[in-house]
Amino acid sequence: MDSEHAFSEAERAAIYKCIAERRDVRSEFLSDPIPQAKLAKILMAAHQAPSVGLSQPWNFIIVRDAALHAKIHAGYVKASEEAAIKFQGERSETYRSLKLEGIREAPIGVCITCDRTRGGEVVLGRTHQADMDLYSTVCAVQNFWLAARAEGIGVGWMSIINPQELKNILSIPEHIVPIAYLCVGYVSSFYKSPELEQRGWAKRHTLSSHVSINHWNNETALDGLFAFL
């Protein structure tokens, strides 16, 4: 029996489909511009994220200047080389063979930041968990990602850059934290499963290996939970 507040079966199917088919895109970006109306809708979805104490700590910088893309790409190249040498042997070779960003191919970047001073000195819900503002901002990132996927627009979260360098390039003040730099654009295709899985970098785990009841790692009471999947 469904709750009267449940969405219709078709609506629920759309939401599960969007969550399942969202991908981190690196190589399939098309240069086609994103219509303003679409971008505004996706940004509004991000802006409707939950935020601690309704503090709405996020900002969105839409990076469409190719000269800035080139600077960010240069920051990526440097950071990626620093990362590559941390992997051992074959793993390092594989790392170097992966394309991990679409900074210059995607028509825009969207930098989503967190203002750690937003909402004043005391924010409801942050006293004992000070990073709740960062987490609120990540919820905005995930909303952005899902709305974009529904529009057929790919998103790649590019985390391989020194955050201070990103801040310098985008004139981001000291007290603002850049949470995500997203490469955003239409795509030729979406992978059917995570690209890192398809390329043999990592495997997806079973859900049941991540769930316990009442206490950490207590799997004695999982009973019928996973019979349905």
Site for a second copy in 150-189 (CB under 8 A): 150-153, 157, 159-163, 170-173, 176, 179-180, 186-187, 189
Closest CA to 171 of 66, 63, 92: 63
Interaction pattern, residues 102-121, with a second copy; x per rule: CB under 8 A: -----------x-----x--
Residue 117 CB, nearest approach to a second copy (Å):
14
| Interacting positions 191-220 with a second copy (CB under 8 A) | 194, 196-197, 201-205, 207, 210-218
| Phi/psi at 113 (5° precision) | -115, 165
Residue 190 CB, nearest approach to a second copy (Å):
6
Provide CB contacts within 8 A for 199, sequence distance 6+: 94, 98
Quote the crossing angle between the two packed helices 66-84 and 89-97, to the nearest 10°: 170
| CB burial of residue 166 (10 Å; 0-12, 13-18, 19+) | buried
| Structure token digits, residue 120 | 């004043």
Our CB check for a second copy shows the closer of 31 and 62 to be 62
Interaction pattern, residues 1-40, with a second copy; x per rule: CB under 8 A: -xxxxxxx-xxx-xxxxxxx-x-x-----------xx-xx
Q: Does 77 bind a second copy (CB under 8 A)?
A: no
Among 33, 129, 175, 192, binds a second copy (CB under 8 A): 129
> Could you tell me the end-to-end alpha-carbon distance of the chain, in angstroms, rounded to an integer?
18
Q: Does 55 bind a second copy (CB under 8 A)?
A: yes
Residue 183 CB, nearest approach to a second copy (Å):
13
Closest CA to 104 of 62, 77, 66, 75: 66
Among 43, 72, 103, 183, binds a second copy (CB under 8 A): 43
| CB burial of residue 66 (10 Å; 0-12, 13-18, 19+) | exposed
Distance CA 218, CA 200 (A): 31
Residue 170 CB, nearest approach to a second copy (Å):
6
Residue 16 CB, nearest approach to a second copy (Å):
6
Among 63, 106, 182, 184, binds a second copy (CB under 8 A): 63
